[in-house]
Amino acid sequence: MKEQINKIKEQALKDISAVEEIKTLNDVKVKYLGKKGELTSVLRGMGSLLPEERPIIGSLVNEVREEIEQAIKAKEEKFQEMELQEKLEKETIDITLPGTKIKRGSKHPVNRVIEEIEDLFVSMGYDVVSGPELETDEFCFERLNLPKGHPARDMQDSFYITKEYLLRTQTSAVQARTMLANTEKTPIRMICAGKTYRREDDATHSHQFGQVEGLVIDKKERNVSLADLKGTLEIFVKKLIGKNCELRFRPSYFPFTEPSYEVDVSCFKCGGKGCSLCKQTGWIEVLGAGIVHPHVLEMNGYNPELYGGFAFGTGLDRLAMFKYAIPDMRYLYTNDIRFLSQFDRKDEE
Amino acid sequence: MKLSTNFVKDYIDIDVDVKQLAEDMTRVGNEYDSAGKLINATKLIIGKIIECVDHPDSDHLHLCKVDIGKEVLNIVCGAPNARKGLKVIVAQNGAELPEKTIKKGMIRGQESNGMLCSIAELGLEHKFLKPEDKDGIAELGEDAVIGEDPIKYLGLNDDVIDFELTANRGDLLSVLGMAYEIGAIYDKTVKTVDLSHKEYGKDLNESFKTEVKTDNCKLLLVKKVENVEIKESPSFIKNRLIASGIRPINNVVDISNYVMLELGQPLHFYDADRLGKKLVVRMAEKGEKLTTLDNIERTLDDSDIVIADSTHGVGLAGVMGGLETEVENDTKNIIIESAIFDSVKIRLTSKKILRSEASNRFEKGLDPNRTYMAIERACTLLEKYANGKVVTGIVKYDKTDNKEKEINLEFKNVNDVLGTTISQKEILDVFRKLGFSYSVKGDIVTVKVPTRRLDISIKEDLIEEVSRIYGVDNIQGKLPVVPMKKGTFDKTQREIRNKMIALGLNETLTYVLINDKEVHKFTLDEFEELKLLDPITEDRNTLRYTIIPSLLKIYEYNNARGQKDISIFEIGKGFYKKGEIYGEDTKLCCLMTGKYSIGLNHTNNVDFYTIKGVVEEILNYLGYEGRYSFIKQEMPKEIHPGQSAYINVNGTDVGIIGKLHPNVSKEDIYVFEINLDELFKKKVGKMKYKEISKFPSVKKDVAFLINKKVVSKDIEKVIKNSGGSILSDIEVFDVYTGKNIDENKKSIAYSLNFIDNKKTLTDEEVNNLLEKIIKNVCDKFGAELRK
């Protein structure tokens, strides 16, 4: 009987290794281990054995069964592994085909610059404020020390709707609004960006353009000197235009500040040597600024003997052009999709 | 203002390169546009034609032998006036002229080594030139020395700086004013102006009267010069006028312009024999007619100041003289008017009629002392260069206060405003350099401001002077030391912008000015449109009310350039007048067309539901979830009536959504616009945690066959009411019409989610509810359950 069992074992192992697909493996399993399988029938024949032989043969049968089961299991795993490999093979795709284009929007370059400026000044404790674009002559001019007939109004040819209402020519209009609205007459630190309008339209001037305005009012002996203004604008310009650029304050004239300055930066294209961008001067004008005129303080409810302030403003369109090397102002307002969609990523820090 | 450096050197001794001077002036606030030589030409030399014969192969060219001292050049010349013995300007080989470079060459077989030049070829503006300066080569005088520089000989060796002056510095519209400014920079003293002349005969006051009938003239001075000889001006006057951008005419007219340039005071010369015995200054009558110098009959307004004789107008004060009394070639006697008119009135008139050198100076304001100085200066020059005899006396009307202003300034104040530690001495030094006299008492300096500096009236103006002349570059920037505070900032707009961008839309920036024909489109709102009084073009003559026309224009622009997939948005203002209120609202506008997403198997064209999804996404993001609805009502005629709605939040319409009407565009274009100001009047609740049920939810799908006209919103309402509190979500997942379905019907499928926070739902419970829902929907709408 021992021999018979060993023979079955050998035959079974041989059969198992010969199996080529998982279906037939089951047949082999049934053939040897099933209820009517060969090994089972050996067990059934145990009755004819001597009592002392039974345990020996019994354990042998169990050993063999276990061995066959192991072999079948190993074979099964092998088949599963193959099947998985086949599945992976089948599922392999051309990973060089393009990914689904999830539409990515874009932020207009002028608004990008506005956000950058707002974030910078908010971090310095400024309030972000806004004012109407449809302004009154009073706030746009008169309260800024520009009475009717003032020659400086020529610098800002305006779009009037009525005698009194016009499209604001400058965000400075918000200065007067902010000062008046502050009924407690406490110190002010504000920044205001928005659209402005002037009656001119040529290659370098759009009749609609962006401006940003900053205003600081404080007790006269504190924080509001020309030196403070210089320091503040240095931070502004270095953040917006470049760490290495130099500033030049050039005395100028605005009716709402005294003294007044135009602020130039060293040309970031040629480094100050002179090029077409800076018209060979080495400098590019970027800001208007000054110490708030005492008449402006007075007209808007601040006592000029106690309070002082500084203000500054700049054109956003030009800043956007500088920042992104946009060669023509008109591109900003043409809104060509091929232009807009270029501004679809995060700004580098 | 174009400054001739030769001119200014009459009054100040400087020896500075013109570029350096321009830069130094810029540093003190006087920006320039250009600075350089009046004549930009090289390798010019005075020569003499020693032989001139006709070119053998030409009917107009000459072959000239020209002696330039060091050699004799063969030059082919086409000028009709080329002739033997003439002294000429020779441009040698390699000479750079404004419009050409001279090279050795052959002209019709004859060698030519240079060019004989006309005045025009030196690059002066043609409007300044006489015909002979353009038509032939320049004929130099006998005193021209062969071999020397012809530019110097002609007195055209001048440097010119074209300044862009600020509106407050009217004093710099004069050579003398410039001299003071330059003097302050280089610490030089300004020389005095020569006003000397003889006067003859009886006092003018006996024979000539003035009458000023308006407050708009504060100062009027009249003098008379007799027996002037009209001829060409001496070349220094002509050249300085040309360098300053004024065309020379004759000595008398040129002198009036010369004095204006020199002292900043415009003068007017009348032909005394064509003027009555009286000069009247008055306001024009409405509709009054006057023919000005340029031979145009002007119709005047009662805001124009007129100069009249005893009967009628003879000039438009400060702007242009009258034709009738113009100085002409036969003029003998001259009445000179030197006056100050109201700057605002002149500005109005000149804006209407003509911006001139004179009106520009009146507008900026004038120094009364210069008004006196200028009339005397004109007499001096007329005596010297026109052989005139100045009549004794001056007819004077003077209501000005021409005393020097005194301003007190605390030294401490200067340093407070500038943030500096400038010493008293340095501050006083600035005033000295500027030519301001002062006295010091303790901590206070009292500065006497010369009358020429009309721009200085308060102590801040003096502080500015200190900062200018001391040098802003010498002031160190510092960081303000301020109390810490948090900047306030409403970021809502920015967040909407970021959300729209995250949804794949491109942000635009469009003009708010549009054509008035577009203003009432895409809206049924009632408002008065806001038109510009003085538009640049009709296409931009009105403020927009909705942003839709702006975005539609952007669509058209891009579509015309082959861009079909356009999803754009803008946050901007819409303007209106409602009743007496002028107002503006912030609006979010969006336009979508073409493909929305593009991928191998995911291409998706924009339809109504895409753009509605964007609106819902924005409203949900802003916290309005569950509080808005889309309502069908009468739509503007530019919107598709079957694919559109008003966006309603808590009972108020805040916006509009829809497809553009086929009459507006044949393409499938979808838009929405939300009035953000209206929307934000609806407050939103705080975002806070909602409990998540510990028990499982049960999902059931149900589809109905239902009349096409029944809208989903109504079905959802019935489902919701029938489902009660454990029905947590209703979602449409399929709508089908077509094959296998009655053509009046549609199949609409909902996925319903049931959940109870307190217990596990039983099948029985859910099935009972579902049956109730189905029954109610079927009963209410005549629907049937689709199996």
What pLDDT score does A156 carry?
Answer: 65
The helix (run of H) or strand (run of E) holding residue B314 is strand B313-316
B405-474: CATH, from 1.10.3080.10, 3.30.56.10, 3.30.110.30, 3.30.70.2500: 3.30.56.10
Rounded CA-CA distance B13/B307 in Å is 40
**CB of B184 within 8 A of CB of B49?**
no
Span A109-340 CATH architecture: 2-Layer Sandwich (3.30)
What pLDDT score does A5 carry?
Answer: 82
Question: For the sheet containing B31-37, what is the strand order?
Answer: B2-4, B159-164, B31-37
Residue B578 CB partners (closer than 8 Å, separation 6+): B526, B527, B528
**Partner-chain contact A161 B487, CB within 8 Å:** no
**Residue B627 corresponds to which tokens in the numbers above?**
């509080």
Rounded CA-CA distance A207/A84 in Å is 68
When CB atoms are compared, the residue of B27, B417, B480 closest to A250 is B27
pLDDT in tens, B666-707: 999 999 999 999 999 999 989 999 888 889 999 999 999 999
Q: Name the minimum distance, in Å, from the CA of B647 to any CA of chain A.
A: 24
* Overall average pLDDT of the A54-79 stretch: 86
What is the overall mean pLDDT for chain B? 92
Span B2-38+159-186 CATH architecture: 2-Layer Sandwich (3.30)
| Reported confidence tier of residue B180, pLDDT bands at 50, 70, 90 | very high
Is pLDDT of B787 > 90? no
**CB of A72 within 8 A of CB of A28?**
yes
For chains A and B, count residue pairs whose Cβ atoms are closer than 8 Å: 257
Instruction: Report the Cα A266 to chain-centroid distance in Å.
Output: 29
Q: Which residue has the higher pLDDT, B672 or A266?
A: B672
Q: Which DSSP string corresponds to B531-564?
A: B-SS-SSGGG-EE-SSSHHHHHHHHHHHHTTT--
Is pLDDT of B603 > 80? no
pLDDT in tens, B81-108: 888 889 999 999 888 888 888 888 888 8
Chain A, 216-275: which have a CB under 8 Å from a chain B CB? 216, 218, 220-235, 247-253, 255, 258-262
Rounded CA-CA distance B542/B525 in Å is 17
**Partner-chain contact B534 A199, CB within 8 Å:** yes
Question: For the sheet containing B72-77, what is the strand order?
Answer: B72-77, B62-67, B44-54, B87-91, B115-116
DSSP class of A133: S
Closest-CA residue to B307 (of B346, B363, B255, B264): B346
DSSP class of A47: G
**Partner-chain contact B347 A128, CB within 8 Å:** no
Cα torsion A176, A178, A181, A186 to 10°: value is: -110
When CB atoms are compared, the residue of A103, A133, A262 closest to B596 is A103
Rounded CA-CA distance A221/A228 in Å is 11
Name the CATH superfamily, with its identifier, for domain B199-398.
Phenylalanyl-trna Synthetase, Chain B, domain 3 (3.50.40.10)
B698-785: CATH, from 3.30.70.380, 3.40.50.300, 3.30.300.30, 3.40.640.10: 3.30.70.380
| Reported confidence tier of residue B598, pLDDT bands at 50, 70, 90 | low
The helix (run of H) or strand (run of E) holding residue B439 is strand B437-441
Q: Does domain B44-153 have CATH number 2.40.50.140?
A: yes
Is pLDDT of B597 > 80? no
Rounded CA-CA distance B183/B119 in Å is 34
Domain boundaries, chain A: 2-91, 109-340
Is pLDDT of B599 > 80? no
**CB of B256 within 8 A of CB of B268?**
yes
Cα torsion A115, A117, A121, A123 to 10°: value is: 50
**CB of A239 within 8 A of CB of A191?**
no
**Partner-chain contact B467 A127, CB within 8 Å:** no
Output b/e per residue, B547-559; b: 16+ Cβ within 10 A. Answer: bbbbbbbbbeebb
A31 touches chain B (CB under 8 A): no
**Partner-chain contact A335 B558, CB within 8 Å:** yes
Residue A236 CB partners (closer than 8 Å, separation 6+): A117, A120, A121, A287, A312
The total of other beta-carbon atoms located within 10 Å of residue A290's CB is: 26
What pLDDT score does B270 carry?
Answer: 94
Q: Quick one: A262 exposed, middle or buried, by C-beta within 10 A (0-12, 13-18, 19+)?
A: buried
Q: Name the minimum distance, in Å, from the CA of B175 to any CA of chain A.
A: 20
Q: Is there a shared CATH topology between the B492-679 domain and the B698-785 domain?
A: no
Domain boundaries, chain B: 2-38+159-186, 44-153, 199-398, 405-474, 492-679, 698-785
A94 touches chain B (CB under 8 A): no
* Overall average pLDDT of the B131-151 stretch: 89
Counting every residue written for chain A, the total comes to: 349
| Reported confidence tier of residue B56, pLDDT bands at 50, 70, 90 | confident
**Partner-chain contact A125 B583, CB within 8 Å:** no
What's at B236, amino acid-wise? F
Is pLDDT of A75 > 80? yes
| Reported confidence tier of residue A65, pLDDT bands at 50, 70, 90 | confident
pTM of the predicted model, to two decimals? Answer: 0.84
Q: Quick one: B452 exposed, middle or buried, by C-beta within 10 A (0-12, 13-18, 19+)?
A: buried
For B30, phi and psi rounded to 5 degrees?
-115, 90
When CB atoms are compared, the residue of A125, A226, A262 closest to B487 is A125
What pLDDT score does B79 carry?
Answer: 87
Counting every residue written for chain B, the total comes to: 787
Q: Name the minimum distance, in Å, from the CA of B513 to any CA of chain A.
A: 9
Least confident stretch, A54-63, B635-644, B708-717: A54-63
Rounded CA-CA distance A322/A315 in Å is 11
